[in-house]
Chain A
């Protein structure tokens, strides 16, 4: 269960059922998971095992069919759609495998986008966005559009966007999946640094053993069961 000094997120009895080809597939069945504050958690497992589903549920992008999710003092499974959106804006930063930057905006504007949901003024928003880009080493590319950047650079912009609002946790869904080894290492360096130097909490889904080696804790999801470092945690 939780390995850090303080538990940030608790998932209890989570069940998620998808309908595929007219048949119900129970991807998660009564799953329990704790995420500790300040940890870099790696979720591994075969495709379709429900890793990304856990991330989507933790980030309030999806809702469980049963069970509760608490992040900090908030039980997010009780929030309405609008409340959940507001909560996401304050507490979660997402990093996707396909980067998911807005193509018509520059790197700086993409990073500034989530800051529009904060009470910050125009000048402060720009300063925050520039700082986030500086942290990922891309301040000199802030006026470039996504198609003018390499894949690794795009993912670093996506990380800057995820941390720009200083969220409670960052959820990364296969952040190195579309990158070559060198770019992947650069991205993992940044994620490790965010945890080690800035105290961020990161939950990361990955197939990459190198990524898993950077994690403070690694969980394997197989057939709906979470296994921690060879030990079954809960199912």
Chain B
């Protein structure tokens, strides 16, 4: 027999109430950690962006392409080290549910611009030598069980010759990015191969968008001010044919988050509201438990236990149900992160639950358990033994 046993027995006086409070706390903290992680994932890509890379896109929209002839003009701007075309391919593997991002890029230039992307040297050599070769993020390769040398048929929603006919690529290399500005679930292939596809499509009378480019990812030489380079590029194309909007990689990444409008703020509000709801629910539950424990508190005090003990035991109950429930929810959200990353690969390929978010969730869970139980516990501590035993008698 110990006082912990008494706390444990009290927890199971109302098993349904205890289980519901535990479950609600777990759900609330799960949601909080999940929603906070969505926001931090969106922020992380922006924060990890390089300061010496800038993105040139059409001033009209990201969906309006620019002529290929822009490349040598951009490369001649003082301070530009290299520029690389990026074109969205919009395809999927076998089934539309297997959607992931594919980009046609000038692979040698692209790899030179992203030192944070690690590729095996031998694989890189094979990749650059094979026109149909592609570079795939290691997480994507693992998801579909692809090995280097595998043929990968991709069906594109944009570049379609006939329904159900796929373009074939050969997996020549996998990469791993050390920073979240590039996720590990994207496929890159040769810009020249896309140009050939477009030619073939045009030969068959299809509209294939000329040889236009969606974004020119541009690297700035050391010692040059990126803002000055940005201004020079935009000034260069001020008269058209397609006006440009150039921005730092961070600003470019941030616009994807801003495409979601106020969603991140909204998510933050939902997370906060969920926490408030659980807080008041816990206060109510602890209040009920406190009233039920009044007589027990009186008995314990009469037996010689100190005034604060009964309150402390109630606080422990609150911490046990809400704190442990909340911590369980937070840890579950952390453990489920890889599954969520797969599930939301199209929108949040880099979704992650950071250690600070997890620790914040755990701290909030413990705080709610403590704060929710402290007022009923204080009431029990202040109870006059004689009054409570007389009332109950």
- By the criterion CB–CB under 8 Å, are B10 and A97 in contact? no
Taking a contact as CB atoms closer than 8 A, the residue among A52, A105, A114, A126 that contacts B303 in the complex is A114
| A232 part of interface (Cβ distance < 8 Å) | no
- By the criterion CB–CB under 8 Å, are A94 and B303 in contact? yes
Binds A, one of B1-9, B128-136, B174-182, B253-261: B1-9
Q: Is the interface of B mostly helix, strand, loop or mixed?
A: helix
In the complex, residue of chain A having the shortest beta-carbon distance to the beta carbon of B392: A98
Contacts of B300 in A (CB 8 A): 113
Query: In the complex where A62-B386, A105-B9 touch, is A100 in contact with B295 (Cβ < 8 A)?
Result: yes
Contacts of B206 in A (CB 8 A): none
Query: In the complex where A96-B389, A104-B10 touch, is A85 in contact with B1 (Cβ < 8 A)?
Result: no
| B393 part of interface (Cβ distance < 8 Å) | yes
In the complex, residue of chain B having the shortest beta-carbon distance to the beta carbon of A52: B390
| B202 part of interface (Cβ distance < 8 Å) | no
Interface mask (A56-87 → B, CB under 8 Å = 1, otherwise 0): 10010110000000000000000001100111
B residues contacting A by CB (< 8 A) are 1-3, 5-6, 9-10, 12-13, 295-296, 298-307, 385-386, 389-390, 392-393
- By the criterion CB–CB under 8 Å, are B6 and A104 in contact? yes
Query: In the complex where A88-B302, A102-B296, A116-B3 touch, is A97 in contact with B9 (Cβ < 8 A)?
Result: no
In the complex, residue of chain B having the shortest beta-carbon distance to the beta carbon of A126: B1
Taking a contact as CB atoms closer than 8 A, the residue among B298, B304, B392 that contacts A117 in the complex is B304
| A220 part of interface (Cβ distance < 8 Å) | no
- By the criterion CB–CB under 8 Å, are B302 and A82 in contact? no
| A90 part of interface (Cβ distance < 8 Å) | yes
Interface residue range, chain A: 20 to 34
A residues contacting B by CB (< 8 A) are 52, 56, 59, 61-62, 81-82, 85-90, 92, 94, 96-98, 100-102, 104-105, 108-109, 112-114, 116-117, 122, 125-126, 161
Q: Which 5 A-B pairs have the closest CB atoms?
A: A89-B304, A104-B9, A88-B304, A98-B393, A112-B1
- By the criterion CB–CB under 8 Å, are B5 and A61 in contact? no
The CA-CA distance from A161 to B300 in the complex, in Å, is 12
- By the criterion CB–CB under 8 Å, are B304 and A114 in contact? yes
- By the criterion CB–CB under 8 Å, are B306 and A116 in contact? no
The CA-CA distance from A102 to B300 in the complex, in Å, is 9
Query: In the complex where A109-B5, A125-B1 touch, is A88 in contact with B386 (Cβ < 8 A)?
Result: no
- By the criterion CB–CB under 8 Å, are B393 and A96 in contact? yes
In the complex, residue of chain A having the shortest beta-carbon distance to the beta carbon of B309: A85
The CA-CA distance from A147 to B124 in the complex, in Å, is 77
Contacts of A108 in B (CB 8 A): 1
Query: In the complex where A109-B5, A112-B1, A116-B2 touch, is A85 in contact with B386 (Cβ < 8 A)?
Result: no
